[in-house]
Structure 1
Amino acid sequence: MTHPETAQGPVDIGPHEGLEFALMRAGEKNVALFFEIEPGGLDEILSEGYCLVQFRQFLHEGRTYFTRIVFREGFEADEMRLKQLVSDKTKGIVPAREHEIGKILSYTPDKVNSFIRHASSLETS
């Protein structure tokens, strides 16, 4: 099965970018992950009682890049596991890891599989 693609990747995998907080407020997502960027609306959602964990992911040319995990109270175990998973230094696509990350972030298995296919094709090209 082939998937239409855009410059960002297959159109059927999302992304949730820009929608995370709306999905959280609607009860459709309990944990959101942000690499490098500070998401718009962060202060607002934190003032609504959501939680934030921020940690340094890497340093490049004197600039510190952070990973941020925003989560609903009661999902601390998911936040801790997600932090472990995204901090894993294993190179390449590890399907079991990607599925676990996807599950925590409320992606369907089909969307995770589509992401894995897309990311794997980038590794081999």
Structure 2
Amino acid sequence: MQLKNERLIGPHEGQEFDLIKRGDKTLAYFGEDSVSMNEKYQKAKELGLDELEFYFDPIEVDENIILPRHKAVIFYVTGYEQKAKRLEKLLIEAISLFRVSSKSKYLAGEREIGELLGYSKKQIDAYIDFQDDLLTKIAEKKLRNDLNACGVIR
């Protein structure tokens, strides 16, 4: 049964701490660009959560997209440190695999990330479909650009 207002992409956004408090989730991940990081640290402290901070190195996705080095944090329930470390490893791998040549490995990693973050299979499948479509569009654009640069198409 699908709920009428069920969000399949980013369904936990803004609800992470409530889900942890209820016991429905053990990890929450936030990138440096998340709004109100100080508030998130304060809320995590109030809930007695542990934290794992790490950095993503810059990576060139394609000639037009460069992801800069940035900080991220995983807040987790005490006792789930290994799960948090696995999530950190997968997130770092996902950034470096965000290329069509590594598409299947990237999507497999994204699936495990979704599982670790407590998403339903349906939500994960929707996100994987979204990412697969995005990678396909990036590949098609790169192919068109490469063919154009070689003079094959104009």
Q: Does TM, scored on the shorter chain, surpass 0.5?
A: yes
By relative contact order (CA 8 Å, sep 6+), the higher-ranking structure is: 1
- After TM superposition, the score normalised by the length of structure 1 is 0.79
- CA distance in structure 1 between the aligned counterparts of 2:11 and 2:70, rounded to whole angstroms: 21
Note closer, same or farther for the CA distance 1:43–1:97 as it changes in structure 2 (3 Å cut).
same
Q: 2:25 matched to which residue of 1?
A: 29
- CA distance in structure 1 between the aligned counterparts of 2:9 and 2:38, rounded to whole angstroms: 20
- CA distance in structure 1 between the aligned counterparts of 2:89 and 2:81, rounded to whole angstroms: 12
Note closer, same or farther for the CA distance 1:35–1:124 as it changes in structure 2 (3 Å cut).
same
Counterpart secondary structure, 1:66: strand
Amino acid at match of 2:53: Q
- CA distance in structure 2 between the aligned counterparts of 1:53 and 1:68, rounded to whole angstroms: 6
Q: Does 1:20 align with 2:16?
A: yes
| Identical-pair percentage | 28
Q: Does 1:47 align with 2:46?
A: yes
More strand, by proportion: 1
Which digits, 9 at most, give the CA deviation of each residue in 1:55-111, with x for residues without a partner? Answer: 122369xx8521110000011110010011011122245232122111110001211
- CA distance in structure 2 between the aligned counterparts of 1:51 and 1:85, rounded to whole angstroms: 19
For structure 2, the 5+ residue unaligned runs are 1-5, 60-67, 138-154
| Pairing partner for 1:120 from 112, 116, 132 | 132
- Displacement of 1:29 after TM fit? 0.5
More helix, by proportion: 2
- CA distance in structure 2 between the aligned counterparts of 1:13 and 1:85, rounded to whole angstroms: 19
Note closer, same or farther for the CA distance 1:84–1:47 as it changes in structure 2 (3 Å cut).
same
- CA distance in structure 1 between the aligned counterparts of 2:13 and 2:118, rounded to whole angstroms: 13
Q: 1:72 matched to which residue of 2?
A: 77
Number of equivalent positions: 115
Larger mean Cα displacement after TM superposition, 89-98 or 72-81:
89-98
Q: 2:147 matched to which residue of 1?
A: none
